[in-house]
């Protein structure tokens, strides 16, 4: 390649233009607006960020110290009396420090701006950066597991399970966040030395292997964007292209687990370990965007569409198998065995954001929004200090499995895990939410997600006031505008039917094109665009091939998936039966559902009937019974027992389930 100078020039332009978002493509027409240009206003996502800062971050720092993640790095730098041992089981435990640092860079930058940096956060940041710098080997290598003197394994000896390049990926992402948000390049120096070692060892002329866990691909592309050094993009490209040719050494899991059964370009459906798959696809989308590789981009769009059409849960969760943490077959979507790892939700959002940057697709953002408010949001407790690893859509009353497949501890969310990949991933993703809301384009500004925020660009600055996702009223007020025609584009979710837009005069029907409302005009400060997006309760069924959901119905309002918890209804949840028409009679109400946390939720009061309990026969005989009376006349006889009573079921947002005593929960109900 010979785009060295072009890339360098472009990278310089990126920073001269103030591109400081977590994802900052050089190619393409959409420039994500970062935390310097997008500030969340008083709304749902801002509330998440406050909880992150006040509860999740201090809790995570404490847990990382308790679990030894930071000590593992510190003892490499200073072995002390030599009696300490590597703590934990996994060679990727450094990444939990890296992911936390990535989030802290955002928090510290914001706190510096308001002059209120919390001491613990700054102390942890400084201490961690210090031990990371000190632990790095002279040749650039860094991994506290393989560097531990008592661990008799050599660096790079086990690419399939060593996770060393996965570690590098998270280190790079933390380093770039620190550089872009804080102007602190200490981690970037460490990350580049390690990345240079990886380039030397695994670059186009090196050992043609890949890491067993994709992640480094998107980090390397971002490092290319940050530095303008093309070898990082070349290495990311090589990792994407090498995979799928039986490159990973197999021991326990099949090639599909590692996305190594077919090249990404030829894969017909997302496969294998869910987090690995979505991280790989996110990185490959970055590669396709920067290289202008339309063939690769088309493959990724096809994989995304297939995933949305056949493999995503209603909540946006990905992965239906606890075994191998795998995605599963098409339409294999059992509610109670949904794995839907919280990290997979984050990975899908990372992929979706990049796909939107490359294509402008509003439909992709619709899916990202579903993931955000459901599969992702459910991963964290209302108090911000407990986590689901897997996110089922049903919990049976006698269920005993602990989240995270661990044998002891809490029945619902847990305060930490032996494999704690999800909690620090929540820390960084929540801290970065504003970096994934809006972009500037040659025409103007695209508002990708509706949420209360102020968005500042040279040509157009606006404030978005809304209680979305709980309410569909959105007011966009122009704060400043250039003397020029500028386009303001706003994504309108596909579930919106009807609705109106008002600019000054009377309201007009909302008529989005490809999911966008685009208003191009000379704006003046004080101009407003008022949207009214109706949010009726929708009843959803499932594709008939989803065997687990045949004859089932679920309720969704706006992007929020509902569920019932046993605490809110006296009738057995398994006996509730709803019709599609019941959605139209649902009452939407703000209710206090968690007194302890003081949480009001938008609840749905939906009319239902309560079935009589079914006979205690697991497999009733349909024909060929010894006597006529014992045979059920038809399948309908089994499924439709007499409805005893009418009731009103209280449904709450799925993301808030599991914050009370353990009990039954359902997203999908019997339909009538």
Which CB sits closer to Zn ion, 343 or 606? 343
Rounded Cα–Cα distance for residues 62 and 278 (Å): 29
| Shortest spacing between CB 421 and Zn ion, in angstroms | 3
Closest CA to 278 of 205, 361, 340, 338: 340
- Pick the stretch among 182-190, 204-212, 335-343, 662-670 that binds Zn ion (CB under 5 A): 335-343
Cβ atoms of residues 281 and 240 within 8 Å = no
- Pick the stretch among 312-320, 341-349, 355-363, 570-578 that binds Zn ion (CB under 5 A): 341-349
- Pick the stretch among 340-348, 472-480, 571-579, 605-613 that binds Zn ion (CB under 5 A): 340-348
Which CB sits closer to Zn ion, 162 or 420? 420
Looking only at residues 59 through 118 of this chain, which bind Zn ion when binding is defined by CB under 5 A? none
- Pick the stretch among 54-62, 247-255, 419-427, 468-476 that binds Zn ion (CB under 5 A): 419-427
| Shortest spacing between CB 44 and Zn ion, in angstroms | 23
Radius of gyration of the chain (CA): 26
How many Å separate Cα 497 from the centre of its chain? 27
Which CB sits closer to Zn ion, 104 or 343? 343
- Pick the stretch among 209-217, 280-288, 342-350, 352-360 that binds Zn ion (CB under 5 A): 342-350
Looking only at residues 224 through 263 of this chain, which bind Zn ion when binding is defined by CB under 5 A? none
- How does DSSP assign 396-445, residue by residue? -TT--PPTTS-SSS-SSSBS--SS--HHHHHHHHHHTGGGGSEEE-SSEE
As beta bridge partners, residue 46 has: none
Which CB sits closer to Zn ion, 343 or 517? 343
* Length of the chain as a residue count: 672
Burial of 225 per CB tally in 10 Å (0-12, 13-18, 19+) = buried
Which CB sits closer to Zn ion, 92 or 669? 92
Cβ atoms of residues 233 and 220 within 8 Å = yes
Which CB sits closer to Zn ion, 90 or 495? 90
| Shortest spacing between CB 425 and Zn ion, in angstroms | 6
| Shortest spacing between CB 357 and Zn ion, in angstroms | 24
**Torsion angle of C-alpha atoms 557, 558, 561, 563, degrees rounded to 10:** -20
Rounded Cα–Cα distance for residues 223 and 26 (Å): 12
- Pick the stretch among 102-110, 293-301, 418-426, 581-589 that binds Zn ion (CB under 5 A): 418-426
| Cβ neighbours for 172, distance < 8 A, ≥ 6 positions apart | 191, 195, 216, 219, 220, 222, 223
Q: What are the Cα distances from residue 627, in Å, to 243, 365, 413, 495, 632?
A: 61, 58, 50, 51, 11
- Show contacts of 260-263: CB within 8 Å, 24+ apart: 260/210
Which CB sits closer to Zn ion, 424 or 472? 424
Which CB sits closer to Zn ion, 233 or 275? 275
- As given in the structure block, the two tokens for residue 254 are 């099949």
Q: Is 115 left (phi over 0), alpha (psi -120 to 50) or beta?
A: left
Which CB sits closer to Zn ion, 345 or 450? 345
274 binds Zn ion (CB under 5 A): no
Cβ atoms of residues 571 and 610 within 8 Å = yes
Task: Return the half-sphere exposure (C-beta side, CA atoms, 13 A cut-off) of residue 210.
Answer: 27
Considering only residues 314, 343, 393, 656, which one is a binding residue for Zn ion as defined by CB under 5 A? 343
| Shortest spacing between CB 385 and Zn ion, in angstroms | 17
Considering only residues 326, 421, 486, 539, which one is a binding residue for Zn ion as defined by CB under 5 A? 421
Nearest 5°: the CA angle 199, 200, 201 is 95
Which CB sits closer to Zn ion, 202 or 279? 279
| Shortest spacing between CB 68 and Zn ion, in angstroms | 19
As beta bridge partners, residue 519 has: 488
- As given in the structure block, the two tokens for residue 164 are 């060393």
Residue window 372-411: x/- pattern of binding to Zn ion, with contact defined by CB under 5 A: ----------------------------------------
- Pick the stretch among 19-27, 123-131, 225-233, 415-423 that binds Zn ion (CB under 5 A): 415-423
| Shortest spacing between CB 3 and Zn ion, in angstroms | 36
422 binds Zn ion (CB under 5 A): yes
Which CB sits closer to Zn ion, 420 or 469? 420
Rounded Cα–Cα distance for residues 39 and 205 (Å): 44
Q: H-helix or E-strand containing 518?
A: strand 516-522
| Shortest spacing between CB 628 and Zn ion, in angstroms | 55
- Pick the stretch among 62-70, 101-109, 288-296, 338-346 that binds Zn ion (CB under 5 A): 338-346
| Shortest spacing between CB 423 and Zn ion, in angstroms | 8
| Shortest spacing between CB 414 and Zn ion, in angstroms | 12
* Cβ-closest position to Zn ion: 343
Which CB sits closer to Zn ion, 415 or 647? 415
| Shortest spacing between CB 662 and Zn ion, in angstroms | 22
Which residues contact Zn ion by CB under 5 A? 341, 343, 421-422
């Amino acid at each position: 390649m010979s785009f060295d100078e072009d890339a360098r020039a472009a990278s310089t332009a990126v920073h001269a233009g103030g591109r400081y978002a977590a994802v900052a493509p050089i190619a393409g027409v959409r420039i994500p607006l970062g935390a310097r240009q997008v500030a969340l206003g008083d709304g749902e996502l801002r509330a998440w960020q406050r909880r992150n800062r006040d509860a999740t971050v201090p809790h995570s720092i404490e847990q990382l110290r308790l679990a030894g993640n930071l000590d593992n790095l510190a003892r490499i730098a200073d072995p002390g009396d030599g009696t300490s041992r590597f703590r934990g089981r996994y060679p990727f435990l450094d990444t939990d420090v890296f992911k936390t640092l990535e989030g802290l860079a955002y928090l510290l930058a914001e706190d510096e701006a308001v002059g209120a940096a919390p001491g613990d956060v700054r102390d942890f940041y400084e201490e961690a950066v210090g031990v990371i710098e000190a632990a790095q080997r002279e040749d650039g290598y860094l991994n506290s597991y393989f560097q531990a003197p008592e661990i008799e394994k050599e660096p790079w000896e086990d690419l399939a399970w060593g996770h060393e390049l996965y570690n590098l990926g998270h280190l790079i992402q933390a380093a770039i966040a620190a550089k872009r948000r804080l102007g602190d390049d200490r981690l970037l120096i460490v990350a580049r030395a390690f990345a240079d070692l990886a380039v030397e060892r695994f670059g186009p002329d090196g050992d043609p292997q890949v890491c067993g866990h994709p992640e480094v691909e998107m980090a390397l592309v971002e490092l290319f964007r940050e530095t303008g050094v093309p070898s990082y993009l070349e290495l990311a490209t090589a990792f994407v292209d090498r995979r799928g040719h039986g490159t990973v050494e197999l021991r326990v899991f099949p090639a599909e687990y590692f996305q190594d059964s077919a090249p990404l370009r030829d894969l017909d459906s997302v496969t294998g370990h869910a987090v690995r798959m979505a991280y790989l696809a996110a990185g490959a989308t970055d590669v396709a965007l920067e290289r202008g590789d339309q063939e690769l981009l088309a493959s990724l769009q096809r994989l995304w569409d297939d995933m949305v059409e056949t493999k995503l849960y209603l909540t946006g969760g990905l992965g239906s198998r606890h075994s191998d943490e795998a995605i599963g077959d098409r339409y294999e979507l059992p509610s109670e065995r949904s794995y839907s790892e919280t990290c997979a939700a984050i990975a899908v959002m990372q992929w979706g954001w990049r796909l939107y940057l490359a294509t402008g697709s509003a439909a992709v953002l619709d899916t990202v929004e579903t993931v955000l408010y459901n599969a992702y949001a459910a991963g964290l407790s209302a108090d911000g200090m407990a986590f689901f690893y897997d996110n089922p859509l049903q919990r049976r009353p006698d269920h005993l499995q602990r989240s995270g497949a661990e044998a002891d501890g809490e029945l619902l969310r847990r305060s930490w895990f032996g494999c704690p990949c999800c909690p620090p991933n929540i820390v960084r993703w929540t801290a970065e939410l504003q970096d994934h809301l809006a972009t500037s384009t040659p025409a103007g500004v695209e508002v990708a997600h509706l949420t209360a925020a102020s968005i500042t660009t040279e040509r157009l600055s606006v404030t978005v006031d809304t209680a979305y996702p709980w309410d569909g009223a959105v007011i966009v007020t122009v704060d400043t505008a250039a003397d020029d025609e500028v386009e303001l584009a706003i994504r309108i979710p596909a579930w919106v039917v009807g609705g109106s837009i008002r600019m000054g005069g009377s309201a007009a029907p909302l008529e989005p094109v490809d999911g966008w409302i685009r208003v191009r005009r000379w704006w003046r400060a004080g101009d407003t665009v008022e949207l009214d997006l109706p949010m009726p309760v929708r009843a959803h069924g499932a594709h008939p091939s989803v065997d687990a959901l045949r004859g089932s119905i679920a309720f969704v309002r706006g992007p929020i998936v509902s569920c019932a918890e046993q605490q809110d209804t006296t009738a057995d949840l398994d006996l509730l039966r709803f019709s599609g028409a019941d959605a139209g009679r649902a009452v939407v109400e703000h209710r206090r559902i968690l007194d302890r946390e003081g949480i009001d939720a938008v609840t749905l009061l939906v009319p239902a009937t309560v079935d009589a309990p079914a006979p205690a026969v697991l497999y009733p005989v349909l024909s060929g019974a010894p006597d006529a009376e014992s045979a059920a006349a038809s399948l309908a006889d089994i499924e439709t027992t007499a409805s005893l009573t009418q009731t009103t079921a209280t449904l709450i947002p799925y993301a808030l389930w599991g914050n009370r005593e353990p009990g039954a929960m359902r997203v999908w109900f019997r339909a009538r």
